[in-house]
Amino acid sequence: MIFYDCTTAPSPRRARMFIAEKGLDIETRQVDLGKGEQLSQEFLAVNPLATVPVLVTDNGVTLTENIAIATYLEAVHPEPALMGSTAEERAQVMMWNTIVDQQCALPVADVLRNSHPKMAGRALPGPDDFEQIPELAARGKARVKIFHDRLEQQLQDRQYLAINQFSLADISAFVITGFATQVGMPIPPVHSASLEWQARIADRPSAAV
Ligand SMILES: N[C@@H](CCC(=O)N[C@@H](CS)C(=O)NCC(=O)O)C(=O)O
């Protein structure tokens, strides 16, 4: 297998953390997004969507989405289970992973990509250029705040986000809320359940990857 990574970007970090939790050692190639390497002919030949992470399986199948990478690795390396064990647990992990993607990852990306001067003309990842829309940054900020409230509510009476054990949903939420902090939108100090959850996940060795 070959894993295409970028150490400074949140999406590949989600895959890295999943790989670390599985205890896997996968050949890794760095794609420097800062230098625009995702748009090089060499990388576009691997992933025409021009994004990381990418996992190429031993059979040469190319997986370009975090959820696809996690689903594949969970199937070929079932232990430890990171996507639930029963039908209901699997569904809950998928549900919360999707909520994190749609209600936190996309808004955080909207904020950064529509406000940072370095992202001018690159408001969406991918091979096509889009101009920034400042209103999307403002909307993204409001949506992240709403997500923080939802996270705090969900974590009131539980240790982990989706099920009674650590899962992919925790990885996604931990990496993306951490990235939101870098972008100036940390979990509010009064959200004690979320901050305890964040510290709990940060203690795991995989959080260091
Ligand atoms: N759907 C993808 C999203 C991947 C994605 O957006 N990756 C970003 C890095 S966080 C990227 O490759 N950006 C390239 C760019 O900004 O041109 C996933 O979660 O796996």
Q: For ligand 1, pick from 3, 4, 43, 52 the residue to mutate: most ligand atoms within 8 Å of CB.
A: 52
Please report the pLDDT score of residue 140 as a whole number: 98
Nearest atom within ligand 1 for CA of residue 53: 20
Nearest atom within ligand 1 for CA of residue 64: 20
Distance from C-alpha of 25 to C-alpha of 48, rounded to nearest angstrom? 26
Please report the pLDDT score of residue 198 as a whole number: 98
Distance of CA 10 from the midpoint of ligand 1 (Å): 8
Fold of 2-76: Glutaredoxin (3.40.30)
Please report the pLDDT score of residue 180 as a whole number: 98
Task: Tell me the domain boundaries of the chain.
Answer: 2-76, 87-208
Nearest atom within ligand 1 for CA of residue 14: 19
**Is 0.95 surpassed by the pTM of this model?**
yes
Burial 131-145 (b: 16+ CB within 10 A, else e): ebeeebbeebbebbe
Contacts 24+ apart (CB under 8 A), 127-132: 127/39, 127/44, 127/48, 127/49, 127/50
Distance of CA 53 from the midpoint of ligand 1 (Å): 7
Strand 54-56 relative to strand 2-5, pairing: antiparallel
pLDDT (tens digit per residue) in 105-137: 999 999 999 999 999 999 999 999 999 999 999
Please report the pLDDT score of residue 63 as a whole number: 99
pLDDT (tens digit per residue) in 39-51: 999 999 999 999 9
82: which DSSP letter? Answer: S
Ligand 1: residues with CB < 6 A are 9-11, 33, 38, 50-53, 65-66, 125
Nearest atom within ligand 1 for CA of residue 65: 20
CATH of domain 87-208: 1.20.1050.10
Please report the pLDDT score of residue 135 as a whole number: 98
Distance of CA 44 from the midpoint of ligand 1 (Å): 13
Distance from C-alpha of 7 to C-alpha of 58, rounded to nearest angstrom? 23
- The residue assigned the tokens 């939101």 is 180
Distance from C-alpha of 9 to C-alpha of 201, rounded to nearest angstrom? 19
| pLDDT < 50 positions in the chain | none
